Amino acid sequence: MRQLFLSSSFKEVADLLADFADRDLKGKKVTFIPTAAKHEKVNFYVKSGREVLEKMGLMVDDLEISTADPSEIVSKLQNNDFIYVTGGNAFFLLQELKKTGADRIIAEQILAGKLYIGESAGSVILTPNIDYLKDMDDPNAAPELDTYDALNIIDFYPLPHQNCFPFIKTVEKIMSKYQATLSLEPFSNSQAILICGDTVKVAGQ
């Protein structure tokens, strides 16, 4: 059963995680993937996310997909308790996941019931395709990405950072372009999309 905790800004909604996970998080090991932020100038959210997880008692096990060897990728994604993917550039993230085969492993783990926590780019890569995010993230960051087909774990399109600086106009632009053709789900930094099996709800303010 799918168990997905999708956020725009994890730090702002982290207090919702314990109830959603419905288990004791202390001592659990989370595979922490910061890859999307590797070439981003603004990346404070990576440190913030890691610190929040540690304060919750989780053991954070870093996995930089773009440089890790295949055996490390397989081992950490399969053996650790949870998977956390940070924000950053969704196109670069998808490129690296596809190059290493981590996309398939993550999908398999999600479908097997492993809790997945996404933040911004980490949330949107679960869609069928990330083409709709070209106005938010620069696709030129992923020159080796030949298709924008993503993990296809969810059948809608999360649109993070609604009404949040500096993405206010960007989100409005994306909505005007795609709301008639895609099932967009805009959500703010203080909201999370919670998916348990086939049940989807937006929590927070």
Rounding to the nearest 10 degrees, give the CA dihedral for residues 93, 83, 8, 204. 170
CA–CA dist 136, 17 (Å, integer): 26
Measuring CA to CA, which residue among 2, 19, 6 is closest to residue 125? 6
Catalytic residue, candidates 7, 123, 161, 188: 161
161 is catalytic: yes
Residue 5: phi and psi, rounded to 5, are -115, 100
**Distance of alpha carbon 4 from alpha carbon 196, whole angstroms:** 7
Q: Collect all residues with Cβ–Cβ distance below 8 Å to 113 and sequence separation of at least 6.
A: 1, 2, 3
Which member of 9, 120, 123, 188 is catalytic?
120
Nearest by Cα to 39 from 141, 134, 145, 121 = 141
Q: Is 120 an active-site residue? A: yes
Catalytic residue positions? 120, 161
